[in-house]
Amino acid sequence: MSNADYRWNQTQAVVDYDAAAPVIHPQYVTVQDQLLAALPYAANVAFRLVDVGGGSGRLVERVLEQFPNATAVVMDQSEPFLGVAQQRLERFGARASFALQRLQDDWPAAIGPVDAVVSTSAIHHLEPAEKQTLFAKIFAALPSGGVFLNGDEHRSASDAEFRTLLEAWGRHMESSLAAGRIPASFDQVIAKWRRRNLDEFGAPAKSGDDCHETIETQVEYLRAAGFTPVEVPWQHELWALFVARKA
């Protein structure tokens, strides 16, 4: 998928999504809570991380608040998302920086050395081969002792269970939309999500779609990239936290 086709290159859509993200994703805040708790740093330690597919900078904002000596890069392929992130993180000055890069790009060369890589609700949009390439890229970018934390969606091994969870999420979004907790502009976004994930359940997914894979498959990808140990300390319904370390 080219950047020109990327649906988050429309400013109003990005602003609306940023406002409603904690409602759209039932585990949005919990995923961030779990990820922050898993960062292996004392509060006063200086470290540098990159949030790949970091969107509007909500996670990086919490990192910089919790770790006052940390610096962070928000990396995303959407200029409107990075614009919102720049406004959100302006108060942190030089501690926050920004990179317009796709997950598929050679972003480590553009960003430079980091101690940790984090991501939430982004990598599941990559096809299997793209995920594996990204995990290898992250492993190569990290120093010995570095860590990769990914809070993201996954699929159940059982089609029946997976579909049930997707249907529950769809009902949550639709009821939230009807109650005015999600902007009316998201009516078509939710309709397209339902068509891709439920009406066409089981159909092949392409890069940019929801390319869900099981926890076990993603753990295998991370181990194949060189990470050890790889742990999943938290999971709930469609969401899980992957913690992968580079020895």
* Structure confidence by residue, pLDDT tens digits, 196-216: 999 999 999 999 999 999 999
d(CA 165, CA 179): 21
Q: HSE on the CB side for 97, CA within 13 Å? A: 15
CATH 3.40.50.150 fits 3-156+207-245, yes or no: yes
Q: What is the pLDDT of residue 10?
A: 56
Q: What is the pLDDT of residue 12?
A: 84
pLDDT digits (tens, 9 = 90+) for 90-117: 999 999 999 999 999 999 999 999 999 9
% of residues, the chain, pLDDT over 90: 94
pLDDT digits (tens, 9 = 90+) for 228-247: 999 999 999 999 999 999 99
d(CA 123, CA 146): 19
d(CA 31, CA 28): 5
Q: What is the mean pLDDT of the chain?
A: 96
The domain limits of the chain are 3-156+207-245, 159-199
pLDDT digits (tens, 9 = 90+) for 13-42: 899 999 999 999 999 999 999 999 999 999
Query: Which strands make up the sheet holding 71-76, listed edge to edge?
Result: 96-100, 71-76, 48-52, 116-120, 147-153, 239-245, 230-236
* pLDDT > 70? residue 120: yes
Grade residue 8 by pLDDT with cuts at 50, 70 and 90.
low
pTM comes to: 0.95
What would the mean pLDDT of 5-9 be, rounded to a whole number? 52
Grade residue 1 by pLDDT with cuts at 50, 70 and 90.
very low
pLDDT digits (tens, 9 = 90+) for 74-83: 999 999 999 9
Grade residue 131 by pLDDT with cuts at 50, 70 and 90.
very high
* pLDDT > 80? residue 130: yes
